[in-house]
Amino acid sequence: MLTFKPPSSSNYTFFLLFLLLNISLCSAIVLPTTLTLPVTKDPSTLQYNTVIGQRTPLVPVNFTIDLGGRSLLVDCERGYDSSTYKPARCNSTQCSFAKVDSDACGDYCSKPRPQPGCNNNTCHTLVGNPIINHYTYGAELAEDVLAIGVVPIILISQPRFIFTCVESYIMRRLGKGVTGFAGFGHDSTISLPNQLALLDSRFTRKFGICLSSSTRSSGVIFIGSSPYYVYYPMIDISNNLVYTKLITNPRDLLKTSEYFVQVSSIRIAGQDVPLNKTLLYISKKNGVGGTQISTTIPFTILHTSIYDAVKTAFLKAIPKNVTIVEPPMKRFGACFSSKNIGRTNVGPDVPIIDFVLHKPSAYWRIYGANSVVQVNKDVMCLAFVGRDQTWGPSIVIGGHQLEENLLLFDLPRNKIGFSSSLKLQKTSCAKYDYASKI
């Protein structure tokens, strides 16, 4: 099986150009209707990153996956050099395509000479870094070459892919070598899946995210129609999903591209957790509350009152021979000795957590591999974080809970599918194979 290794800049450029030439010469090649992006987990930041080719000459650019991001967001101050970079001029088709308001266009550049990210008579759009919760309208819209290639099978090249340029200070707290975000937001025409589908009729506005729990093996994002295969054994992991409606949040301007679902209750060990259920719904007045899915936070955040109830119910359901201990780190609030915790094929044998969706029979089940984390040799902690969410979503489902699960985002049908743990099928997100795309 071929595995993905991030190539050097020169090798990556040569490889992409080589494939472009061969694809143009070999008309018999069947081009893919589904793309696969390898996704690695950074061990220090716990962020999920991918590599996409950009610019002329092509270079590999490291991006952090931002599920609710509006666009491909690039730090253009750190050596952005390309002969095909074109800023989106006011009243241009690029600005119209990106649905930029006319008042977000003009002369914003204060530097002595034009450069990527700093040109006059250009349109700007709202972008942000969700990791530091910083947002700005000072992002220049532009276009350049984009290429998605995975050695040695798949390649798509777009000569005029629209993205946004930002200054370096916005790209704080990203992993080493990461200089941007790959945005998958649902209501933005220039997010990665939406723009690819609009530019190339082979692709649909569907994508699946399958994050690996390991920092040593890659997970995958599928862009386009299913089936989505993993191997050994060969399984279409897009089968037998539990679907629920995609909820929008039009009241919060910073959240319009984010993915919300309706969680109606939480069960632990089969018992309903007593909650203030008004927190589970998005307020029609100010847009707060509800449940958001995020790839930019490592652990699920719960409103403090929800967290306290979940923590109490979880510890109550822990076997009596398990000792509750003081948390060894500030991040987690509920920890216990792991000495008497058994193991199953879906992780530590701890109480099952169900996020019940729009009806009691539709739920996303969270097993031990996703509900707890081993913080040292003898201690496990509940892998949820309590936080004051008065002015935000009451629940933000984070990366640890998403790992080894397939989430399928069907944007034309306005729904999201959940697989639950792939360990139940004795497979994982790392077992995908590009050879299936030949």
**4-41 burial code (b ≥16 CB/10 A, e <16):** beebeeeebbebbeebeeeeeeeeeeeebebbbbbbbb
pLDDT at 308 over 90: yes
Contact 155, 53 (CB under 8 A): no
SS (HEC) of 372-402: EEECCCCEEEECEEEECCCCCCCEEECHHHH
pLDDT at 12 over 60: no
pLDDT at 152 over 90: no
Residues 311-341 pLDDT 10s: 999 999 999 999 999 999 999 999 999 999 9
- What length does the chain have? 438
pLDDT band at 156 (very low <50, low <70, confident <90, very high): confident
Nearest one of 6, 437, 433 to 220, comparing CA atoms? 433
SS3 (DSSP) at 24: helix
Q: Considering the chain, what is the average pLDDT of its residues?
A: 89
Residues 26-48 pLDDT 10s: 333 456 788 889 999 999 999 99
Contact 266, 275 (CB under 8 A): yes
pLDDT at 23 over 70: no
**CA dist 100 to 67, 76, 133, 139, Å?**
21, 20, 22, 11
Residue 179 has, within 13 A of its CA and on its CB side, a CA count of 20
Is 0.85 topped by the overall pTM? Answer: yes
pLDDT at 222: 95
pLDDT at 348 over 80: yes
Domains of the chain with bracketed CATH: 9-203 (2.40.70.10), 236-425 (2.40.70.10)
pLDDT at 95 over 80: yes
Least confident segment among 2-11, 186-195, 395-404: 2-11
Residues 198-210 pLDDT 10s: 999 989 999 999 9
pLDDT band at 408 (very low <50, low <70, confident <90, very high): very high
Residues 225-258 pLDDT 10s: 999 998 877 899 999 999 999 999 888 888 899 9
pLDDT band at 179 (very low <50, low <70, confident <90, very high): very high
CA–CA separation, 129 and 151 (whole Å): 30
Residue listed under structure tokens 């955040």: 301
DSSP code per residue over 168-205: GGGGTTPPTTEEEEEE--TT-TTSHHHHHHHH-TT--S
